[in-house]
Structure 1
C-alpha cells in the first residue's frame, strides 16, 4: 500500500514538472515543443521557440511577449499570424491597409503603397482573398513584383452610404476585385481623384487592402473611419506547401519527403507544390515522423453508422448484424428465423462452455489450495495464472522448448508486459512432497537475490503440478559453450576464469549468506547459464535442500544429481553436505580446463573418466597437454596451474579435506583480479605472491600429502541434464 502511494505521488510530481516546463504531449507538435503562442495553436511543420520544432526555416515563426504578459505570434516582422490550418494548408495573417486621407484645409496623410513579398513555400490565396477599397473617392490598384499582373477597382458615393455587414461592395462606398493564382508578391496602391473635396464631410479617408472575403465585415470600415496607428490591418489568407516540387520527385528523395506514415501526397490548388494528408480512416498530423494513427470508428457511433456489432480495422471498420439478424450492418439489419435457431443452438453450446469453465476454475482453485497457494500468496513471490503462462508459451509449443530433463521441460515465454521468462513444467509429482517443506523452500528460493543466481520470478499453483517461472537467460548453458567448438566465448583464459569465479561466488552465497543456507545438490556446467553479457548465473534448484540451524549434513532418502558430477562420498553414505557442491564444482573446473565431459569418449572410442584423466596428467606433469585452449603468457600459465591445483583439492574423495566454497571463491577472485590487472602491468613477483606455494609445488610435480590421496569412482552410463 505504501509503495502504491509512492508511485501515485511520483506520477503527480512528473505531471507537475511537465506543466511547469511547458513540455507537451500534443499530437500536432514535436516532442518537447511549444504548442501555442497566445491564442494561436502552432502545429508542425510550423514551430516556435527552437529551430528543431519547425520542419525548416520557412516554417519557423516568432512568438513575442508584450508588457502586459500577452503573447503574439508573428508570421513575419510586420505580419501577426492569427490562424494556422493543416487541413486547408493556410495561414491567416494581418497586413496593414494602405490609406489616403485629407483634412478640410487640403492637408494630406497617406500610406498609399504597400509592397509585400512571400517566401518560396507561400502564395496569396486567390480563392479566399479579394482586393478591397473603401471610400467615396478611392482608386485601388494591385500588381505583382514582376508586373505580370495588374487589377484595379474604383469606389464612389452619390450620397451618404452606411457601411454594414450585408453591403454588396459593388462600387458604392466599396469595391472589390480578384487576384490570380500563384501570386507570391503584391504591390497595393491607393489614390484619390478629387482629394475627397466633395465628400470630405463624411469620408476623410480611403482605404485599400487585401482581405479574406469570408471574414470581411464592412461594418468595421465606416466611411468616417480614420487611420489607427498599427491597427488598420486586414485578415489575409496565405496558402503554403510542404515543398515546391512534384509528389513523385518528393517520394524519390526520402530524406526530404515531408509526409509521415499512413499519409498521402497531393497537389495544392494553386499548383505551387505538394501537401500531405492522412489516409482515409486515419487521423493526426501528417507532417510528423510518426504520421497519422488509425481512427477507431466504433468509438464514434454518431459519425460512423453501425446497426450491429462494430469491429475496428486498420483504416476502416466492420459492422456485422447481431445473431438472428441479416443484412449490411452499416445500412441496416433485419430479423432472420434460420439464424435465430442457429443462435439458440450456439447459446446452448456457450452455456456448456460456461459450465466447463466453471468446473475448470473450481479445479484450478482446488489445485491452488493443495499446492499451498493460501500461504504462498502472502509471500514475496508472484503468483501466475495458468492462462497467463499458456499464452506466454504459445500453449507450450515445441518451438518454445529450450531444455528438457528427467523433471520435465523448460519453455521460453513472453508475458503480456513483454518480459521474457523461462517456464519450468514438470512431468509429474509425488503429491506427498507437496507439504509445508516444499512451500517453505519456494518461499526461501524466491527471496534469493544474487547477481550470479538465476532469479525465480514466481510460480503457478493452478495446475496439478506447480509451474516455476524464472528469468530468461539468453546465451544458454556453460556446457554448450565448452563443448560447441564454434563458440568463441571461452577462447580466452580470462573469460574461463571470470565465469568460474562468478559461479563460485554464487555457490558461496548459497552456502554462507542465504538464510537458511542452501545446498544446491546438482552443480554442473549445464546448470550454469550465461546471460546477454556472458555473466554466469547458477540455475536449477530442483535437487536443492535447505540446512536448518545447527545442521551440517542431510541424509538423503534417494540420491539426486547428475552422474559424473556427484560426490563419491555422498554416493556411498547418502550424506549430502556443502562439500558435495564443492566436489561437483571441482568437476566443472576440470571441464573448463580440458573441454572434456565427465564421462567422455577417448580417441580409442572407450569411455574414460575425466577425473582419472585429469589426475593422470597432473602426475605426469602434462597439464598443458590436456588443456582445451592456449595460455597467452607466463602469467596465465601460472593462473591455470593454480586453478588446476584448486580443482584437485575440490575433488578430494574425503569431504572434510576439501576447501569450503568460500575458500574456493576467494582464491578464484584473487586470480581473477590479478588477471585483470595483468592487462596493464606485468609483474612476475606479484604473480608468485598471488599464486602462493601451490603453484611452486605444482611446477616441482610434488605429490600431495597422504591425507589428501583420492579415490576416483567412474560411472559408465548416461547422465541427464536439466536447464533453465
Structure 2
C-alpha cells in the first residue's frame, strides 16, 4: 500500500491522529488469547493485532501502536488511522488526509498539498456507494483519479461572497461540490487547485480543499470557508472481503474456508470476493468457531413479540395462543365467547368419542374377517396356539428394526418376548397377494404341524387376525450355522467333535423329513443360513417354505423344488 503527501520539494510520510467511533458490538470479538481492542477501537475477528495468528490471513492483520511513542495506542491500516470495523457490513471507516491549496491576497501560492494512496493487492477497495469526492471553496477545482492515471473526475465550486455551509447543504456548487467515484477503485490521487488563485475571494476564503468523504457522517458545517489548514482530515469508507474468491471456489477448500456453522456466504456486489454473515435467527461472529448461535427469541419479547406460549426453535420461534383463544400469537390472540367455547369443546369431544368407537368396531370386524378367511374356524381346533395381533405387536415392539433376526424373499423374522418371558420368532410375510399367501401359508402349516423332532424348529402358534397370517416359532438363541462358520471369533465349531455332531444332527433332521415323516417331505432349501444352533449348540433345521411333500410313486419332485436344489 502507498501513502504519500505531495508537497513542493518534499515527500513525507503521513501519520494522522484519529478519534475512534463506536462499533457494532454484536460482532466485536476475537480469537481466544487475542486482544479485541486497540485503544478505544474494537478489532473483531477475522481481523487481528499483535500476532499474525490472531487474524484470518496476512491482509487482515493490522498494526496497533502509538503514533509518536506517547499517548494512547491507535489502530492503523498500513499508515491510515482506522476508526471503525464492521463485521456485519464488511466495512472499515478510516481517516484520510485532505488535499488543499492556499493563497495570499496577491494570488501567490503559500501552501499546497496533494494526496496519493493505494490499497495494495489485499482484499480492499474504496466504497463507491458510501463515499463522495468533495471539494470546499469559492474558487476551487477538486480532482480525483487513479495513481496509474486510468481514471479521473473533478468538480468545481465557486462563490463571490461568504457562504454559510449548513449540515443539510446540498453541495451543489456554491462553496461545496461533490461527485461519485467508480466501483472497484483501489488507489486514489487527490488534488485541489484554483482557477484564479483566490484573488477575488481571498479576504474570506484563502484556501480550497479536496477529499473523500463518508456521506453518512459528512457535515458541511465542519468546513469553514475562512479557515486555514490545521490537521484537516475526513472519514472515508473502505470495503473489505475475507478472501478474493467466489463462495463456490472458497467452499471447496474446507481448511481455509472462513464461514463457520449457521452462516451464509455472500459474494460482494463489486465482485471483489466473499464475506460471511449469520443466517436468519442466529447471531455472533460468523468467522469464529463454533459459528453463529441460535437467538432465543422467547427471551426477548420486545424484539420478538408473542402474546401466547412461546417456543424457541433453531433460527426461529413459534407462538401459540392460550386455550380458548385464536390467532397466530405474534400479532395477538382473540378470545372466543363462553358459549362458543362450550359448543366447540362439546362438539370436538363428541367427534373424538364417535371416531374412537368407530375405529374399535371397524378394527374388530377387520380382524374377524381376516381370521375367517385365513382358515381360523378350522385351525382353532388343531393342536396349535392362536396368538392375537396386538399380543405379537407388543412382543416385537411393533416389529422394530432392532428386533429383526433375518430377512429373505418370503419376508422378515422378528424376535419377540411374551409377558411370561417366553422368547419366540415371528415370521412376517411380505410381497405376496392374498390368494398366494393362503396357499403357501396352509402348505407350511400343514407340514409343520406334522413335524416333531428335536433337530427341527418347533411351531409354537400362529396369528390369523392380520391380512397376511403370521407364524410363531420357538426362538433359537445361538444364530445360524452360516454365522459360526464365517465368524472367526466363534467357539461353537472349535473342535472336530462339535463339527461332526452338528453335521450328524443336521443329517438326522433331513433323514426324518425325507424318510420318517408321514408323508415324507423334501426340505428343498438346505443351506447353512437355514440351520440354527441353540444355546447348547444343538442343530435345528428351519424354514419349510420350500418343502415338497412326497406322494407314493411320485417321480417329478425335481420340477417342484423351489429353493436351492441339490
The TM-score with structure 2 as length reference comes to: 0.54
**Cα deviations by residue, 1:426-464 (Å, 9 ceiling, x for unpaired):** xxxxxxxxxxxxxxxxxxxxxxxxxxxxxxxxxxxxxxx
2:274 maps to 1:274: yes
CA contact (8 A) 2:27 2:284 kept: no
Q: Unpaired segments of 5 or more residues in structure 1?
A: 1-24, 345-398, 400-483, 488-601, 606-724
The SS at the match of 1:58 is helix
Taking the aligned partners of 1:162 and 1:603, their CA distance within structure 2 comes to 112
Distance 1:343 1:56, change over 3 A: farther
Distance 1:180 1:340, change over 3 A: farther
Aligned to 1:43: 44
Report deviation, 1:332. Answer: 2.5
Taking the aligned partners of 2:71 and 2:256, their CA distance within structure 1 comes to 38
Distance 1:299 1:342, change over 3 A: farther
Aligned to 1:138: 140
**Cα deviations by residue, 1:696-723 (Å, 9 ceiling, x for unpaired):** xxxxxxxxxxxxxxxxxxxxxxxxxxxx
CA contact (8 A) 1:259 1:289 kept: no
**Cα deviations by residue, 1:177-231 (Å, 9 ceiling, x for unpaired):** 1111111111112211122122111111111100011111122110122112xx2
Taking the aligned partners of 2:71 and 2:344, their CA distance within structure 1 comes to 70
1:207 corresponds, among 198, 206, 209, to 209
Taking the aligned partners of 1:27 and 1:182, their CA distance within structure 2 comes to 27
Taking the aligned partners of 1:180 and 1:186, their CA distance within structure 2 comes to 11
- Structure having the higher helix fraction is 1
Taking the aligned partners of 2:208 and 2:149, their CA distance within structure 1 comes to 24
Aligned to 1:31: 32
Aligned to 2:83: 82
The SS at the match of 1:142 is strand
| Residues 285-324 of structure 1 mapped to structure 2, 5 A cutoff | 285-324=285-324
CA contact (8 A) 2:144 2:190 kept: yes
Report deviation, 1:90. Answer: 0.4
| Residues 447-458 of structure 1 mapped to structure 2, 5 A cutoff | none
Report deviation, 1:137. Answer: 1.5
The SS at the match of 1:112 is strand
The SS at the match of 1:206 is strand
The SS at the match of 1:242 is coil
Taking the aligned partners of 2:28 and 2:236, their CA distance within structure 1 comes to 27
2:162 corresponds, among 157, 160, 163, to 160
Taking the aligned partners of 1:299 and 1:262, their CA distance within structure 2 comes to 20
| Residues 136-535 of structure 1 mapped to structure 2, 5 A cutoff | 136-228=138-230, 231-336=231-336
Over aligned residue pairs, what C-alpha RMSD do you find?
A: 3.2
Distance 1:112 1:27, change over 3 A: closer
Distance 1:152 1:107, change over 3 A: closer
CA contact (8 A) 1:250 1:257 kept: yes
The SS at the match of 1:167 is coil
Taking the aligned partners of 1:188 and 1:181, their CA distance within structure 2 comes to 17
Report deviation, 1:275. Answer: 1.4
Report deviation, 1:331. Answer: 3.1
Aligned to 2:57: 56
Report deviation, 1:485. Answer: 9.9
Distance 1:52 1:342, change over 3 A: farther
**Cα deviations by residue, 1:506-558 (Å, 9 ceiling, x for unpaired):** xxxxxxxxxxxxxxxxxxxxxxxxxxxxxxxxxxxxxxxxxxxxxxxxxxxxx
**Cα deviations by residue, 1:471-492 (Å, 9 ceiling, x for unpaired):** xxxxxxxxxxxxx9959xxxxx
The SS at the match of 2:221 is helix
| Residues 620-699 of structure 1 mapped to structure 2, 5 A cutoff | none
The SS at the match of 1:215 is coil
CA contact (8 A) 1:140 1:188 kept: yes
Report deviation, 1:126. Answer: 0.8
Distance 1:120 1:343, change over 3 A: farther
The SS at the match of 1:133 is strand
Distance 1:107 1:189, change over 3 A: closer
Taking the aligned partners of 1:27 and 1:155, their CA distance within structure 2 comes to 41
Taking the aligned partners of 1:132 and 1:35, their CA distance within structure 2 comes to 34
Taking the aligned partners of 2:42 and 2:251, their CA distance within structure 1 comes to 29
Report deviation, 1:168. Answer: 2.0
Taking the aligned partners of 1:146 and 1:307, their CA distance within structure 2 comes to 62
Report deviation, 1:308. Answer: 0.8
Distance 1:171 1:27, change over 3 A: closer
Taking the aligned partners of 1:604 and 1:296, their CA distance within structure 2 comes to 68
Taking the aligned partners of 1:129 and 1:286, their CA distance within structure 2 comes to 26
Deviation larger for 196-205 or 327-336: 327-336
The SS at the match of 2:256 is coil
CA contact (8 A) 1:325 1:339 kept: no
Taking the aligned partners of 2:342 and 2:260, their CA distance within structure 1 comes to 47
| Residues 515-664 of structure 1 mapped to structure 2, 5 A cutoff | none
Distance 1:48 1:103, change over 3 A: same
The TM-score with structure 1 as length reference comes to: 0.43
Distance 1:327 1:340, change over 3 A: farther
Taking the aligned partners of 1:195 and 1:93, their CA distance within structure 2 comes to 31
Report deviation, 1:335. Answer: 2.3
**Cα deviations by residue, 1:367-395 (Å, 9 ceiling, x for unpaired):** xxxxxxxxxxxxxxxxxxxxxxxxxxxxx
Taking the aligned partners of 1:132 and 1:170, their CA distance within structure 2 comes to 11
CA contact (8 A) 2:41 2:83 kept: yes
Taking the aligned partners of 1:69 and 1:149, their CA distance within structure 2 comes to 40
Distance 1:340 1:271, change over 3 A: farther
Taking the aligned partners of 2:180 and 2:84, their CA distance within structure 1 comes to 22
Distance 1:325 1:207, change over 3 A: same
2:116 corresponds, among 114, 117, 128, to 114
Taking the aligned partners of 2:312 and 2:57, their CA distance within structure 1 comes to 36
Report deviation, 1:295. Answer: 0.5
Taking the aligned partners of 2:182 and 2:39, their CA distance within structure 1 comes to 33
Distance 1:118 1:170, change over 3 A: farther
| Residues 704-715 of structure 1 mapped to structure 2, 5 A cutoff | none
- Structure having the higher strand fraction is 2
The SS at the match of 1:249 is helix
What count of residue pairs does the alignment treat as equivalent?
A: 332
Aligned to 2:97: 96
